Amino acid sequence: MEAIGKANVADLKLADQYGPLINGEIVEAANGYFDSVNAATGEVLAQLGRGGKEDVDKAVEAARAAFPSWASTSIEERSILLNKIAEVLEENQDRLKLIECMDTGRAIHEFDLDYQLAINQFRYFAGAILTHYQGDSRPVDNGYLITKKEPLGVCAQIIPWNVPMIMTSFKLAPALAAGNTIVLKPAEDACISVIEFGKLLSDILPPGVVNMVPGYGNEAGQALIDHPDIDKLAFTGSVEVGRLVGRTAGDRILPVTLELGGKAPHIIFPDVDIETAVENATLGYTFFNGESCILGTRLFIHDDIYDEFVDKLIERAKEIKIGPPTDRSTRLASLINEKQGKRVLNYFEIARNEGAKILYGGNRVTVPGHEHGYFIEPTIIEAESHMRIAQEEIFGPAATVTRWSDIDEVVKAANEVDYGLAAGIMTDNMENGLAVANRMEAGSVWINSYFNFQTGAPFGGYKNSGVGREYSKEALDSYSQSKTIVAAYKRPPYGTFL
């Protein structure tokens, strides 16, 4: 047994190999396997299937075959099954959290929020589908008008590595509720928990309703995007890949949902209690190891409190425990891999070269027994809002700090970025908070409490942050299509068109 306060890694049992999940069964990967490694230690956790065109073809074929029966399943039955999925996820969450902790390098305590959100997604859509707009029927002249919602068909879904179970639930729950079948491509850097979850789904859902193909983006992902028998594309990830997915959807006239990058502003008014505001700001830029598109990484601090706020922000950063991901007292752990670690450190060099000033952090930290991992100090950078460090997504535990004194200027600066996924505001004057929130070019604006997710609230972005909304009833619409039927009692009399 591990020491109290740490997850029990010794008892974790994984399969040797994780091939594609097709038609309810784990099958051999056509193109072999590659190593899935512990982000912090480098230990090989398992072998992942290197999915390719052959695997995707089989997965889509299974989803297509399962679609007619699943689409005709009553919404009441779908609701029951979604609730069963929530129950099974809740029952198995401790094991799945530990797998994700090792796979992603994130601190184990963070997954409490991840799984709360994921479980709630399935329960929300289990209820939402029962009250979803099913149609409007009314008498019309000489007949009856019927409108109804129908599922789209086979949905291709591609998710990133940073929050595997959140992304899985965001994609699966509304698509299943609406009556679609699915081929999901999880990220190659962190997908063991997703496939383990898929195995649990196979005991609940009919074969072929949910299929999963692991592998590299340029192989399995591209084969899925390009497949000719797909009826919907849904992607969460980088703007660059999102553009390719969107272009494919446009060329083939497919519905698409894109949730892409972010560079969220966090505006602090001078009337706040500085201690609690610093705590909220620290959470806002360090949670998820800084590897999230919703983080409040651009801190705009009013000139009247700037010096005191920044001093306390630095002091709080010094208190953050950097340590093993499986230790529940750890608050900042390892980035996903060496590539991402070097990318973050390179951005700190870019910042220095642009004239920004690193006030605290900016270095890699060695954690004994976890030398493989890229543990990065919480980093606070004084920068002007036009600098690359304040404009481009870093995906690491770093925040820029910038002074402001004029409300119109800070709103302009906050919005002068290519993204618009999230934003934060801190003030004791709710009139100011709501007025600024209404001017933010962002899909989610949190006042006084960052990451304040509410079940059923639409989630998605403005500008380059994406197209469409998830986490809400709007997602049901994005996985459905409307049909209008007009039934006439009598045909027009002979001679009407002569």
Angle subtended at Cα 6 by Cα 4 and Cα 11, rounded to the nearest 5 degrees = 100
Catalytic, out of 100, 188, 259, 470: 259
Residue 293 falls in the annotated catalytic set = yes
**pLDDT for residue 1:** 28
Q: What is the pLDDT of residue 498?
A: 72
Q: Are 38 and 203 in contact (CB under 8 A)?
A: no
Give the residue ranges of DSSP H helices in 149-215.
Answer: 164-178, 192-201
Task: Return d(Cα 34, Cα 409) in angstroms, integer.
Answer: 50
Residue 134 confidence (pLDDT):
66
Q: Give Cβ neighbours of residue 217 (< 8 Å, ≥ 6 apart).
A: 158, 185, 187, 188, 241
**Candidate CATH numbers 3.40.50.620, 3.40.605.10, 3.10.129.10, 2.60.120.10; the one for domain 9-260+465-483:** 3.40.605.10
Question: What is residue 3's predicted lDDT score, i.e. its pLDDT?
Answer: 37
Of the candidates 219, 227, 166, the residue with the CA atom closest to the CA atom of residue 48: 219
- Sign, CA dihedral 174-178-179-183, equals negative
List every span in the chain annotated with CATH 3.40.309.10: 265-447
Q: What is the pLDDT of residue 7?
A: 62
Q: Which of 291, 293, 441, 470 is catalytic?
A: 293
Residue 259 known to be catalytic? yes
pLDDT < 50 regions, the chain? 1-4
pLDDT score of 5: 53
Q: How far is CA 174 from CA 121, 125, 196, in A?
A: 8, 6, 20
Return the number of other C-beta atoms located less than 10 Å from residue 405's C-beta: 11
Query: What are the helix (H) ranges across 236-293?
Result: 239-252, 274-286
- pLDDT score recorded for residue 496: 83
Determine contact, residues 262/393, Cβ cutoff 8 Å.
yes
User: What are the pLDDT digits (tens) for 297-336?
Assistant: 999 999 999 999 999 999 999 999 999 999 999 999 999 9
Q: What angle do CA 110, 114, 36 make, to 5 degrees?
A: 80
For the chain, residues classed under CATH 3.40.605.10 are 9-260+465-483
* pLDDT at residue 8, as a whole number: 74
Write the single-letter amino acid at 293. C
pLDDT at 41: 97
Smallest Cα–Cα separation from 33: which of 166, 156, 165, 191? 191
In CATH, 265-447 is 3.40.50.300: no
